[in-house]
Amino acid sequence: MREVAILGVAMTKFGNSERTNMEMFAEAGLEAINNSNIEAKELEALFFGNCLGTFEEGQMHMAAFAHSALGMRMSAPSTRFEGACATATVAVRHAALLVGAGVYDMVIAGGAERTTAMGTPLATRTFAMGCQAQYETPLGITFPGVFGMAAHMYSKKYGIPIKELKRNMAEVSVKNHFHGAKNPKAHFKKEISVEKVLSGAFIADPLQLLDCCPFSDGAAAVVVASADKAKQLVDKPIYIAGTGQAAAGPLYHQQDLTRVIAREVSMKGAYKQAGIGPQDIDVCELHDCFTIAEIMAIESMGFYEFGKGYDAAAKGETRLGGKIVVNPSGGLKSKGHPIGATGAAQVTEIVEQLRGESGSRQVEGAKIGLVDTLGGDFGTVCNIILRS
Amino acid sequence: MREVAILGVAMTKFGNSERTNMEMFAEAGLEAINNSNIEAKELEALFFGNCLGTFEEGQMHMAAFAHSALGMRMSAPSTRFEGACATATVAVRHAALLVGAGVYDMVIAGGAERTTAMGTPLATRTFAMGCQAQYETPLGITFPGVFGMAAHMYSKKYGIPIKELKRNMAEVSVKNHFHGAKNPKAHFKKEISVEKVLSGAFIADPLQLLDCCPFSDGAAAVVVASADKAKQLVDKPIYIAGTGQAAAGPLYHQQDLTRVIAREVSMKGAYKQAGIGPQDIDVCELHDCFTIAEIMAIESMGFYEFGKGYDAAAKGETRLGGKIVVNPSGGLKSKGHPIGATGAAQVTEIVEQLRGESGSRQVEGAKIGLVDTLGGDFGTVCNIILRS
Query: DSSP labels for B18-80?
Result: -S-HHHHHHHHHHHHHHHTT--GGG---EEEE-SSHHHHHS---HHHHHHHHHT--TTS-EEE
Mean pLDDT of A301-314: 98
pLDDT tens figures, B113-167: 999 999 999 999 999 999 999 999 899 889 999 999 999 999 999 999 999 999 9
Determine the distance from the C-alpha atom of residue A26 to the mean position of all C-alpha atoms in its chain, rounded to a whole number.
Answer: 20
Looking at the DSSP assignment, which residues form a beta bridge with residue B225?
A: B5, B106
Amino acid at A190: K
A337 is an active site residue: yes
Between CA A256 and CA A371 the distance in angstroms is 23
Between CA A22 and CA A111 the distance in angstroms is 10
Between CA B249 and CA A58 the distance in angstroms is 17
Are the CB atoms for A376 and B59 separated by under 8 Å?
A: no
Between CA B194 and CA B196 the distance in angstroms is 5
Query: Residue A373: what pLDDT?
Result: 98
Residue B300 has pLDDT above 90, yes or no: yes
Tell the CATH topology of A4-118+214-387.
Peroxisomal Thiolase; Chain A, domain 1 (3.40.47)
pLDDT tens figures, B199-242: 999 999 999 999 999 999 999 999 999 999 999 999 999 999 99
Secondary structure of residue A215 in the 3-state scheme: coil
Rounded percentage of chain A residues whose pLDDT exceeds 90 = 97
Whether the link from the prior residue into B206 is cis, omega within 30° of 0, is yes
Between CA B110 and CA B218 the distance in angstroms is 11
pLDDT tens figures, B253-279: 888 999 999 999 999 999 999 999 999
Burial class (CB in 10 A: 0-12, 13-18, 19+), B357: exposed
Cβ atoms within 10 Å, residue A44: 18
pLDDT tens figures, A337-379: 999 999 999 999 999 999 999 999 999 999 999 999 999 999 9
Determine the distance from the C-alpha atom of residue B178 to the mean position of all C-alpha atoms in its chain, rounded to a whole number.
Answer: 18
Between CA A46 and CA B226 the distance in angstroms is 25
Give the DSSP H or E segment for B195.
Answer: helix B194-198
Do the Cβ atoms of B61 and A84 come within 8 Å? yes
Q: What are phi and psi of A152, to 5 degrees?
A: -60, -40
Query: Residue A140: what pLDDT?
Result: 87
Between CA B258 and CA B255 the distance in angstroms is 9
DSSP A323: S
Looking at the DSSP assignment, which residues form a beta bridge with residue A284?
A: A326, A370
Instruction: Name the CA radius of gyration of chain A, rounded.
Output: 19
Query: Residue B140: what pLDDT?
Result: 87
Query: Residue A208: what pLDDT?
Result: 98
Give the residue with greater pLDDT, A141 vs A149: A149
Asked if A2 reaches chain B (Cβ–Cβ under 8 Å), the answer is no
Residues of chain B positioned with their CB less than 8 A from the CB of A133: 57-59
Instruction: Name the CA radius of gyration of chain B, rounded.
Output: 19
Residue B17 has pLDDT above 90, yes or no: yes
Lowest mean pLDDT among A63-77, A123-137, B151-165: A123-137
Query: Residue B332: what pLDDT?
Result: 98
Determine the distance from the C-alpha atom of residue B197 to the mean position of all C-alpha atoms in its chain, rounded to a whole number.
Answer: 22
Between CA A204 and CA A143 the distance in angstroms is 9
Dihedral angle, C-alpha A177, A181, A184, A187, nearest 10 °: 40
Give the residue with greater pLDDT, B386 vs B1: B386
Nearest alpha carbon to residue B90 among A109, A79, A95:
A79
Mean pLDDT of B305-309: 98
Query: Residue B1: what pLDDT?
Result: 85
CA angle, A295 then A355 then A266, to 5°: 40
Between CA A115 and CA A124 the distance in angstroms is 10
Measured between CB atoms, which of A61, A63, A247 is closest to B64? A247
The whole model's pTM is what?
0.97
Residue B347 has pLDDT above 90, yes or no: yes
Residues of chain A positioned with their CB less than 8 A from the CB of B380: 61, 63-64, 77-78
Between CA A195 and CA A190 the distance in angstroms is 15
pLDDT tens figures, A189-241: 999 999 999 999 999 999 999 999 999 999 999 999 999 999 999 999 999 99
Query: Residue B144: what pLDDT?
Result: 95
DSSP A28: H
Q: Where are the domains of chain A?
A: 4-118+214-387
Rounded percentage of chain B residues whose pLDDT exceeds 70 = 100
Query: Residue A1: what pLDDT?
Result: 85
Query: Residue A85: what pLDDT?
Result: 97
Query: Residue A203: what pLDDT?
Result: 96
Query: Residue A301: what pLDDT?
Result: 97
Residue A46 has pLDDT above 90, yes or no: yes
Residue B177 has pLDDT above 90, yes or no: yes
Which of B59, B60, B70, B240 has the highest number of chain A CBs within 10 A, making it the mutation to test binding with A? Answer: B60
Query: With a CB-CB cutoff of 8 Å, which residues 66-125 of chain A face chain B?
Result: 67-68, 72, 74-84, 90, 94, 97-98, 100-103
Residues of chain B positioned with their CB less than 8 A from the CB of A253: 68
